[in-house]
With several copies, the nearest count.
Chain A
Amino acid sequence: MYENYVLDKAYFVKVIADLAAIVEEQRDYLTGLDSAIGDGDHGLNLSIGFREVTKNLGEWQKENLTILMKKIGMALLGKVGGSAGPLYGSLFMKMGEPAAGKDAVDFNEFYNMLKVGIEAVEMRGKAVVGEKTMVDALRPALDTLAGAIEEGVEPKTAFEKMLDSAKSGRDSTIPLIAKKGRAMRLGERAIGHVDPGAASSCIILEMFYKNMP
């Protein structure tokens, strides 16, 4: 089943284009979350990065998936800065590797792309679940997807479970004290607020889900 479920370059390009659009739309929402427990720039930072991506996407889509994702990641790394730049930069740069220079991937390969990308985020940021970061959304999401694949769940449904899991993970950050990032200096005052990076991670996964065939 998974070998026949193909995600081609057009899919990835569409996901990225939609992502760029939704980042603009959600910019002030994300920035608002970051105002509460950070420095109020998460939405703007992503917007700066994805504007750069949008500017070049027409050009870059000529490349294979590995290079396309790498260029996207490099643009985020180069333009976003802060914590989100290196973290999301690594996510996208690394995601391309399992695509191995191809123009399309099957669902197994797609899973590997996500796995490698999310692990790169963990490696870079050294955060684990429960520290009130994007990892609280990404790690459970990846585990859920792995489980669903183990059970042989149909691709789009499997991804839906993944997304649900990401959202629960995002919401699980609300009662937490932060142990990583800017919010860690806040102590108890961070309690009661969603982590902005967990929220943006859900938005990213949602775009992958929405565009699945």
Chain B
Amino acid sequence: MKRLINDPYDVVEEMLEGYVKAHEQYVKLLEHDGRVVVSKKAPVENKVGIIIGGGSGHEPLFLGYVGEGFADAAVIGNINTSPSPEPCYNAVKAVDAGKGCLYMYGNYAGDVLNFDMGAEMASMDGIRVETVLVTDDVVSSKEIKDRRGVAGDFYVFKIAAAKAALGADLDEVKAAAEKANANTRSMGVALSSATLPSTGKPIFEMGEEDMEIGMGIHGEPGVRRGKIEPADKVIDQIMEHILPDLPYESGDEVSVLVNSLGATPLLDLHICYRRVAQILKEKGIKVHKAFVGPFATSMDMAGMSVTLLKLDDELKELLDYPCDTPYFVQK
């Protein structure tokens, strides 16, 4: 597929320049660090700072969720690449209101290395920074702590941000994020590779009939390659992996996120959601709220993922809490 960019080395800076201009009512770049997108309302008095981040190429993740009632800042890396430690640190300095900050990001080695260094730098300034890693991708490892974060990021960030907005302290906000993460499971399939801006070529080739099961959002290969199948069959497979993993059971109430990896249209996503809803109904699992669209993408990759978040009263209240950001508004 083809991309609309200029010099591939400038994609992130040019995107950010466009982003903060387009959404100037919501966000700005830090004056002294062009890799930190900060909410115009930050720091918010008496609120724990919510900082999210990771590589570029997953938009609207992460920067699209910076705004009122959601993240205070997003730290921006190169394409598919963790940001470096300094902007992680600068984000803390910019949004801390004296109650400490929470870093949240997908569980990737590179991100951990860099954000941890950022947190060390902040702690030298006496600012407490805690971290919650999102680990929702069921097929990426048997061990939950080794799993990577994919579209479940959205839920974990949203829940923790709402908790912070309600005035909770850092330990409570961290606990809410951990609870959301513990209740979240995802799995995706990819039908095509994303096109790397640097080469203009797909990261990997896939046959006309192939589908990659369990693909991550960076174009990392999945757990196995299979033949492409009708939407209902694909969803059946995904749900067979997700449901028993937590498990999600009859009587549970969940939120569902059917996420596009980029090029898969809303038309297909809703056909997929239809099947998810049928299966949940069969199993006696109630859907409190559904989200269908591109929430965590891999540029122009074709494919989708399903995420379930098991709710209790607290999580429901936090999920429904209003927010206003360029790519997620909730009344």
Contacts and interface: CB of A to CB of B under 8 A. Distances in A.
Given A86-B114, A185-B141, A45 B81 contact: yes
A85 B86 contact: no
A40 B80 contact: yes
B36 to A, nearest CB: 13
B220 A82 contact: no
Report, as a range, how many residues of chain A touch the other chain. Answer: 35 or more
Nearest to A41: B80
A185 B141 CA distance: 6
A93 B82 CA distance: 20
B134 interface: no
Among B80, B85, B86, B196, the most chain A Cβ lie within 10 Å of the Cβ of B80
Contact of B109 (A37, A41, A83): A83
B110 interface: yes
A31 interface: yes
A31 B199 contact: yes
Given A48-B78, A81-B81, A82-B78, A87 B223 contact: no
Contacts of A184: 109, 141, 146
A84 B108 CA distance: 13
Interface residues of B, number: 34
Given A82-B82, A83-B110, A85-B84, A48 B9 contact: yes
B204 interface: yes
A31 B198 contact: yes
A87 B113 contact: yes
A78 interface: yes
A77 B81 contact: no
A113 interface: no
A44 B110 contact: no
B326 interface: no
A79 interface: yes
Contacts of A87: 113
Contacts of B228: none
A185 B9 contact: no
Interface of A: 27-28, 31, 35-41, 44-45, 48, 51, 77-87, 124-125, 180-187, 189
> Nearest 6 pairs between A and B by C-beta?
A39-B218, A82-B110, A82-B81, A40-B203, A83-B110, A86-B113
